[in-house]
Amino acid sequence: MDNMAPQQAPATEGEATVSTERDTTAVQSTVAQDMEDHALEPVPADRRKPLIQLIVVQMGWNISVSSFLVGGVVGGGTTLTEGLLAILLGNVLLAIVASLVGMVGFRTGLTSYLTSRAVFGTHGAVIVSLFLGVVAMGFIGVLMDTWGVAVNQLIPEIPKWAFIVAFSAAILTTAIFGFKGLHRYSAIAVPVQVAIALFALVRIADLDGGFGDVVDYEPAAPIGFSVAIGAVIATWVTGAALVGDVQRYAVRPRDVVISSFCGFAVGAAIFETIATVSAMKVGNSNFVVVMQGLGLLAPAAIMLFLALWNTADNNIYSASLAFTNASNTLGLKIAKPVWTVAAVLIALLIAFAGLASEFQRFLGVISVVVPPFAGVLIAYFWVVVRRWDATELLRTAPSVRWEALGCWVAGALIARYGDLLIADAIEGLVAGFVLYAVVGTAITRWRTAPALEVRS
């Protein structure tokens, strides 16, 4: 008796063609989803990402040029104890802010700019989206111009324009794929950056005096603890304000908190600590000079290039989401990949404008206008309405919520001209939150009071 199972007949040529076409269509559909990145809708449950991907992307988000700059500032102006405490406390506070903002993204599944429709109104959000998107691209353009000048000075054979164009094309290859692009890049860049940073610590230990010089370090021009913690918070409060664009992919609430703390209290804090310790060892706050003093100029160049890519990638990602939201509201059905290319072109034009000397000014503008946005957003969802249904939030959003826009502008003005707290960014965040928590609650109760009276 033949016990062999009957063999399946080989596929015909027509069946093989249909199968290939089906596979090709599936791949194209997945790529299209990655590029559109749910820019105009909540992230569905089957597209949410596991915790490890959130951690990788969040750490890549936080390991940027800013970490090395703030480490140099802290290391050049504090003792070791003061510096480490400022970095730890500052990043824990940032992680808390990021968790509150990220939870909004997780519960609604919406980008920062779609949630801003609920807060500022559908047309009010256009103002917010366009303004924040252009400012972000202005920052990246100035940053590319700054590094183009630096690369040209280091390697005169490479013209500034060539570096800027090549770098713009490179970051487009990751930014255009949204969250997946951020994850793939961070999965490569973060381990390399961690390895170089740890090697810097080993190098410090091997030099004469080792870590003893760091422990005994006394700054020539102390900046004080309050200025140090202010620098830590001000540098990253803008990033914390926009983490909803990443955390909308979270599966569970705890994933938001864990990945936020990994990004800030681990990722940013560790790199700021290494930059601080290195600056104390060499006795200079300039990161490039510090790495040169440690004999690590080439690895430092690699690390800074990867960090610059991180910074540009994240800002282009958020800006493209902002422009997509604004154009959709205005009735222009322009896809997110198109806006990603447009965002890179805006940054490119600003870079060619030669505004490298305006880098600090752009940082100042961002630290004034973005934190109040986060403060108003947190107040709206955690104090004023406390509702999370994305469809209902978008359906009931007014054209313009003037009180929210007013609190955002007032928060920015307080940040710019006030002198109440240790940094403009912190003032803006607190002012935006307090103002809208009070004003928004009062107006909401006033609007609902007549309806309650009718029912009674």
Residue (of 274, 236, 212, 297) closest to 98 by Cα position: 236
Torsion on CA atoms 265, 319, 191, 50, rounded to nearest 10? 80
Q: Can you say whether residue 49 is alpha, beta or left, with left for phi > 0 and alpha for psi between -120 and 50 degrees?
A: beta
Give the pair of three-digit tokens for residue 39.
Answer: 């820019």
Q: What is the pLDDT of residue 298?
A: 81
CA pair distance 131, 412, nearest whole angstrom: 13
**Under 8 Å between Cβ of 396 and 158:** no
CA distances from 64 to 87, 91, 99, 164, 271 (A): 15, 14, 20, 18, 9
Q: What is the pLDDT of residue 31?
A: 66
Q: What pTM was estimated for this model as a whole?
A: 0.82
* pLDDT tens-place values along the chain, 456 residues long: 444 444 555 555 555 554 554 444 444 446 667 678 788 888 999 999 999 999 999 988 888 777 777 888 888 888 888 999 999 998 998 999 999 999 999 999 998 888 888 899 999 989 888 888 888 888 788 888 877 887 887 788 889 889 889 999 999 999 899 888 889 999 999 899 888 888 888 888 887 777 787 888 888 888 888 888 888 887 788 788 889 999 999 999 999 999 999 999 888 888 888 888 888 887 766 666 777 777 777 887 888 888 888 888 888 988 898 899 889 888 888 888 999 999 999 988 888 887 766 666 776 787 788 889 889 999 999 999 887 787 788 888 899 999 999 999 999 999 889 888 777 888 889 999 999 999 999 998 887 766 545 455
Alpha helices in 39-111 (DSSP H): 51-62, 65-77, 80-108
CA pair distance 173, 32, nearest whole angstrom: 14
Looking at CATH, the fold of the domain delimited by 49-449 is given as Hydantoin permease (1.10.4160)
What are the residues whose beta carbons fall under 8 Å from the beta carbon of 372, sequence distance 6 or more?
407, 408, 409, 410, 411, 412, 414, 415, 428, 429, 431, 432
CA pair distance 215, 297, nearest whole angstrom: 24
**Under 8 Å between Cβ of 252 and 50:** no
Q: What is the pLDDT of residue 54?
A: 94
CA pair distance 87, 66, nearest whole angstrom: 13
Element (H, E) at 408: helix 402-417
Give the pair of three-digit tokens for residue 243.
Answer: 């983490």
CA pair distance 430, 416, nearest whole angstrom: 13
What is the residue whose two structure tokens read 């030099």? 207
Domain segments of the chain as ranges: 49-449
